[in-house]
Amino acid sequence: MKQGKNKLHKLAYKKDTLEKRQSNADTTSGERTAAPQINPIFEIEIQQNTMKKNLFIAFEGIDGSGKSTQVKLLAEHLEKAGHKVYSTFEPTDSPIGALIRNIFSHKMEADHSVIAGLFVADRLDHLLSKTNGILKKLEEGYTVITDRYYFSSYAYHGTHMSMDWVIEANSLSADLLRPDLNIYIDISPEVSMKRLLNGRSSLELYETSENLRNVRAKYFEAFEQLKFKETIFVTDGNRLAEAIASDVWQEILQMTVGTNTH
Ligand code: ADP
Ligand code: TYD
């Protein structure tokens, strides 16, 4: 475990998928072998010449954890390193996503299992849409960053129903595309509630301290359960946004240019 980082699991790297996608991107890939820490003098050159250019990265965390802030900062870093970047989010802005948002803002009512089912459909559309689906974007050589993916479902719906059911219900998405990296930004429910109340006059369906405490616990339960299938990086979200972004960037560099020191 590296200092200053809470690395949970770094397993089951989907090298085959990455290599297949990499062949569609515009630069050569670096081998993932043990190597020393990057010398900053060479960092830019490494980023531009050997960094894999076709990644799928998912940000996760409870509400207000700083995901959209980090998506933006990472997109800037990646673009500087020569990636074409497509940033996206769930719930999406499709009609299914709109339905979900109506439920969250209390305009409509639905059972938790219905919401879980809607997210299964929203996610499949997010992946498979012929216009701007994630799979299409990856085929086109983009690195895709998403603000939430299936771990959100495991945690948010696993709080109200069987998490195994939720995992099973999302298995088609998982078979279609696992993130090269799931990044969990860890903040406490108290910090989350403070941030949410700061920026808004009303709260959404799942935005209560008690629920967010349960959701956070479910995230860690899901990480433990899936540690042999998923690549997960947990970072402390109670720091300056730039410090978090720097850790995320180092993690991605180490993952993509083969400079893992452990
Ligand atoms: P999310 O997408 O997870 O809801 P946001 O990025 O929208 O989170 O951030 C939620 C709120 O917290 C925003 O007001 C944002 O400016 C603020 N914020 C984001 N990152 C940090 C941070 N590291 N420290 C303090 N506040 C932050
Ligand atoms: P989001 O807009 O990302 O909220 P925030 O920016 O506050 O984190 O997500 C809206 C809500 O959707 C959030 O409460 C989490 C919930 N959600 C689920 O319940 N299941 C899911 O599968 C996803 C992707 C999100």
Give the burial class of 237: count Cβ atoms within 10 A of its Cβ; 0-12 exposed, 13-18 middle, 19 or more buried.
buried
Longest dimension (CA), the chain: 56
Distance (Å) from CA 69 to ligand 1 centroid: 6
Three-state SS string over the chain comes to CCCCCEEEEECCCCHHHHHHHHCCCCCCCCCCCCCCCCCHHHHHHHHHHCCCCCCEEEEECCCCCCHHHHHHHHHHHHHHCCCCEEEEECCCCCHHHHHHHHHHCCCCCCCHHHHHHHHHHHHHHHHHCCCCCHHHHHHCCCEEEEECCHHHHHHHHHCCCCHHHHHHHCHHHHHHCCCCEEEEEECCHHHHHHHHHHHCCCCCCCCCHHHHHHHHHHHHHHHHHCCCCCEEEEEECCCCHHHHHHHHHHHHHHHHHCCCCC
Say which ligand is closest to the CA of 237.
1
Mean pLDDT (whole number) for 58-68: 97
Rg (CA), the chain: 18
Residue 45, pLDDT score: 53
Q: How many CA atoms lie within 13 A of 189 on its CB side?
A: 13
Contacts of residue 149, Cβ cutoff 8 Å, sequence gap at least 6: 58, 60, 90, 123, 173, 179, 182
Residue 28 clears pLDDT 80, i.e. is over it: no
CB atoms within 10 A of CB 214: 19
Q: Which domains does the chain have, with CATH numbers?
A: 6-257 (3.40.50.300)
Mean pLDDT (whole number) for 173-190: 97
Q: Supply 86's token pair.
A: 């497509």
From 122, 152, 213, the mutation candidate for ligand 2 (largest count of ligand atoms within 8 A of CB) is 152
Banded pLDDT at 260 (limits 50, 70, 90): very low
Tens digits of per-residue pLDDT, 204-244?
Answer: 888 899 999 999 999 999 999 999 999 999 999 999 999 99
Window from 16-30, 68-82, 107-121, 213-227 with minimum mean pLDDT:
16-30
Q: Is 40 in the pocket of ligand 1 (CB under 6 A)?
A: no
Window from 32-46, 168-182, 220-234 with minimum mean pLDDT:
32-46
Cβ atoms 97, 90 nearer than 8 A: yes
Residue 15 clears pLDDT 50, i.e. is over it: no
Banded pLDDT at 108 (limits 50, 70, 90): very high
Window from 34-43, 93-102, 187-196 with minimum mean pLDDT:
34-43
Mean pLDDT (whole number) for 29-44: 42
Q: What is the pTM of this model?
A: 0.85
Q: Is 63 in the pocket of ligand 1 (CB under 6 A)?
A: yes
State how far the Cα of 255 lies from the Cα of 74, in Å rounded to an integer: 14
Tens digits of per-residue pLDDT, 194-208?
Answer: 999 997 888 888 889
Distance (Å) from CA 25 to ligand 2 centroid: 31
Residue 97 clears pLDDT 80, i.e. is over it: yes
Residue 218, pLDDT score: 98
Distance (Å) from CA 165 to ligand 1 centroid: 31
Omega before 179 within 30 of 0, i.e. cis: no
